[in-house]
Chain A
Amino acid sequence: MHVLVIEDSRRLREALGKGLKKSGFSVDLVGDGPTGLVYATKNPYDVIVLDLMLPGLHGMQILKAVREKGLDVNVLILTARDEVESRVEGLSAGADDYLTKPFTFEELIARLNALVRRKYGSKTPTIRIGELEVDTVAHKAICQGKEIALSAREYSLLEYLAFRKDQVVTRIEIQDHVYDEHTLPVSNAVDSGICTLRAKLAKVTDQPLIHTRRNQGYVLGEDAK
């Protein structure tokens, strides 16, 4: 899942970036308001982690701009401002969640997972596709009771396809939601990732789960309809 972190504290920003990547998210990091606004409005993110006291442009202005453009992205405000008025203002302006500093990384991950599930209309943390189970909380893929060994990026790809099971997912969409800004669109990272994932799934199940739609994209499902 693709997350944008807009945070002015360098150390916090970088630590969040590393931690989120380790947790299977693809992450873009921005340290000031104006750049944050450009990133938030130009790229399709699943979640934006937004600080309020930003240099150059206040976080609330970024939030308002995102909502005015009608972008389908969940926004989590991450700020030191813990007053009730500030929470009410943030949530009323269109934020989907509000977390005050200091926070635990575990809680942030749990909230981000919840926001991602909300975005894809999934109420339960586990998604079933035939024999395959994707646990979006534990970040595990299990097939016939066995855990499939996946890298963070591979799990992220599987999770995105699982959230959109039985739907055709284009390469561009995969690129936008699974890979960060450092992965070039012209690279064959998506095809390569799908190939690796198929190979790992094939080891645990005979049932083909990832289907190719020529000139369209990929579908994760039990049947190749």
Chain B
Amino acid sequence: MTSISRNLVASTLIGALVLILGQLLVLYFVERGELMAKSDEGLEQQAESLATLFRLNGQEIEFGFDELLIPETARHTGVTYYQAWGEDGEVITRSPSLGMMDLPSRFGQDGRPELWNLRLPDESRGRAVGQEFAVHQVSASAEQDGHPTSERVILVVARETDSIRSTLWRFILTDSLVALCGGVVFAIYLVWVIRSLLRPMTKFGEYVEGLEADKLAEPLPALSLPKELTPIAASFARMQQRLDESFQRERRTASSMAHELRTPVSELLTMSDVALLHADEPELALEYLGEVREVALHMRDLISTMLSVARLQLSPGDLKPCAIQCAKTTLEAWRAYEEKAVRKRIRMTASLDQELVVSADEPVLRSILSNLLANAVEYTSDEGELEISLSREGEQAVLRVKNTCAGLEAGDMARLTEFFWRHDGARSVGDGHVGLGLAVSKELASVSGMELELSLEESTFIATLRIELDSSAIGEKAKR
């Protein structure tokens, strides 16, 4: 499992390590450059000092070496090599350290010294400087004797550079140790800082972990969250509210369902008990047996309805949309309730676009239409008004069922689609109504891609069903 603090510590430490290594590398090269420059400077000074020891005496170039005269040589701890050549290329002198070996004869142009790396006779790595300079006659008589006034001499001085490398390594080692200690301290500090910064998140996590379903309605406690976590906390609070509403809805549904099941079970029990009490009156006992059967059938229907909705929710793939003449299907559904509407002297008006062909699963559409119309006829008061309209709005067919219905309030609209919820006034309506019709219709519509909206305008209840038009029908309409 990924851990923000672990990842933060690891990535920061890796970043810091790369930075330190880079810094060490840069320091190494800078230091190395400086040491080499100083070494070269020393080497050049040494070569210049040695050059002063050459003198031309007549035809002979003499070299008078004295360590006291060349303090740079004395200061240098390693072995110094030097060799000098005359104009004719003959070796004038060489350091005893060279033995019989030669140094390369190189020098810079125009009197400038040339510096280069080389392998010394003892196979160690070294640095050499070569320069050409003039040696002048020391006595005036020599010039008179026809000797040249000056001779060119090539001098090469070399010395080992291992001491520079060891100095550099000491430097790198010291720096690395300092960096390592610093890194450890930095890592500890980093862990502490990250843990401190993430503590509100940990607390938030603990709060979420310990949040029980019955505490969802309680507001989020003050956790002094940082700015970055505030939007997450706000989103969580909104989700908490939605969950709470959903749980409340579930609880209400469960409670209503329990109530709706307890009542028919009570009916069954009481009617059976009373039928047994009247065992001496077979006609009455038979009458109750019939009633018991009716209740059992009603319970079966109720369970079947719930199961079919649940089945569709689980596998919406079972739906088989086809082209349906919506007006015709609506009128067919209406026929089942027409008689009751006449009996209640309900004034019904219908305005249906006969040409609209919709795409829907036919049993589902019929079930929704049946529920909406049954609901409208049932809850419209005697001599009330019922209006059914079907029209096209964009790519949808819109069916509206409007009926006068006293007692409903705007706040009831959301609860009308809760399973088993019934408005107080609806309880006085005949047997068989348990508050499922609109809830089932809403679920069926939702599962099958239709939209069902419920609204209230003064005392008129409006159920609006939006159904997708069949694509072939849309094409034909467009052609016309």
Interface residues of chain A, those whose CB is within 8 Å of chain B, are: 8-12, 15-16, 18-19, 22-23, 31-32, 53-56, 80-81, 100-106
Contact = CB atoms under 8 A, between A and B. Distances in A.
B278 interface: yes
B278 A18 contact: yes
A72 B431 CA distance: 34
Contacts of A103: 266, 269-270
Interface of B: 258-259, 262-263, 265-271, 273-274, 277-278, 284, 288, 291, 294-295, 424-428, 431
A15 B284 CA distance: 11
A102 B284 contact: no
A55 B269 contact: no
Contacts of A8: 427-428
Contacts of A106: 273
B144 to A, nearest CB: 138
A41 B248 CA distance: 37
B428 A18 contact: no
Contact of A80 (B258, B273, B295): B258
Given A11-B267, A80-B258, A103-B266, A19 B427 contact: no
Contacts of A56: 424-425, 428
Contacts, number: 76
B253 to A, nearest CB: 14
A166 to B, nearest CB: 33
Contacts of B277: 19, 22-23, 105
A80 B267 contact: no
Nearest to B259: A80
Contact of B263 (A18, A55, A80): A80
Given A81-B259, A102-B262, A18 B284 contact: yes
A31 to B, nearest CB: 8
A10 to B, nearest CB: 6
17 contacts: A8-B428, A11-B291, A12-B270, A15-B271, A16-B274, A18-B274, A19-B273, A22-B278, A31-B428, A32-B428, A54-B427, A56-B425, A101-B262, A101-B265, A101-B266, A105-B277, A106-B273
A103 B431 CA distance: 20
B267 A15 contact: yes
B428 A102 contact: no
Given A11-B291, A53-B259, A81-B259, 6 more contacts: A8-B428, A9-B263, A9-B266, A12-B267, A55-B425, A105-B270
A23 B274 CA distance: 10
A101 B284 CA distance: 24
A102 B266 contact: yes
Nearest to B270: A15
A104 B258 CA distance: 18
